[in-house]
Structure 1
Amino acid sequence: MFLIGAIANGLEAFVGGLIGLAFKSRVSDELGDFLLKGQGLCVVLVGVQGMAQGGSVIVATLSLALGCLLGFWLDIDCQVTRLGSWAQRRINAAFEGSERLGSFSEGFVSATLFTCTGAMAIMGSLQSGIQLDHATLVSKGVIDLVVCIPFAATMGIGVPFCGVSLIVYEGVLSALAAVLGGLLSSEVVAEVALAGSVLLFAVGTNLLKLTDLKVANMLPSAFMPILLVPPMQALGLL
């Protein structure tokens, strides 16, 4: 079932939020940062495992080159940041004057933006939908669990409910990927998985604070094999 990854991710984030509320006075930002770096190592592992499954270096190289050019031109990272800022302003304006609802909205929106607007959510949903491989979303769920603990400890009751947003958002992406996956050849799926694994590796190095890559601007790279593989097969290059 292609929704397993999205459901697992949402539940893990919800549990993390509950833990943060339960241990509100004992969770420090330093602890949360340390745990997050540990999960960064796991994301690197997921990326390496995906790359080890093989694929064409030529397709991966071209996909990254073209995808990065397109993503840089569109400036996806900036658009995502603007969307998050717009959503936060609208929520703050809607609940202005209500301390209880304002507190809920701050935690809910902040946690939702962090957990939903990342390359790992998109790549994990693609893998769940196309390959029925939920490892990335489950791994991401552990990261979200860790992140939601300090979030909930500082921002309150709204944080656990980002799990609902995750299930809806990643569930829709997984469903679309499942429909798309039925139209793609196994070769294309393998190359999409390879390009996505490279991006996951980049996410992991960012979490470890070894790099500061705008991975969102690289997201088009994951879709480039859909365009590149058929003509390269026709020309006998694969």
Structure 2
Amino acid sequence: MSQVFHVARQFAKHGLIVHANEMPAPKEKKAPRLLAAHYGGQDVTFLGRLIFPHVENLVVDARTFPIRDPWPVNPKSLSLVYTFGDSPTDEKRVFVSKAGEDTVWTLTSDDIKTQPPGVTLASAWPPEVPGRIKIYAVIYGLEQITHPTVYRRLYEAASRNERIYISNKFFSNSPLINEDPWRGTIKSAAIVYTIRGKWKSISGREREYMSWEL
């Protein structure tokens, strides 16, 4: 009987600890990393990194976005290109929203299917001819543009260092169709890319030109 009590005491003392050690460790959360941010046709990446510190999630308050209005009176879009973690292979995501809406968005590292509307995977189309530039995201109005033909136009323009005239025609899949991702609104555009692995982005507004930083 004394042996039974001894075993019981040992179990009470160590049994739960052994069981806990056998449990799988919780998955470590990766900190978000902001690669690019644009607001109303203006690159606000530097300010965005101050606003969205390295905490567990990215919280976007569209009601009171804490950056000076770069385009008063006009409806504006806000876009973020971000990742969770520091590895080049980490998934790149794009978030696009209308600024000023009565909404707070929480962007997490969880499965993209669980994310708020406006979150998509970065298209990251590679150039047909390998070069020093790789485009990861093209944002126009309230959408990420994923048409291969648009990426082809952008790569051709970049290869000649040509300015880009921001218009529905340029960002449409077919030059014969003026697709409009935000009807009745003067839109802004943003292109996020890397040069020799260094992140760059350019932006502008409809009926204006954007110039590459190459």
Query: Normalization by structure 1: what TM-score?
Result: 0.20
Query: Normalization by structure 2: what TM-score?
Result: 0.22
Higher strand share: 2
Higher helix share: 1
Structure possessing the higher relative contact order (Cα contacts under 8 Å, 6 or more residues apart): 1
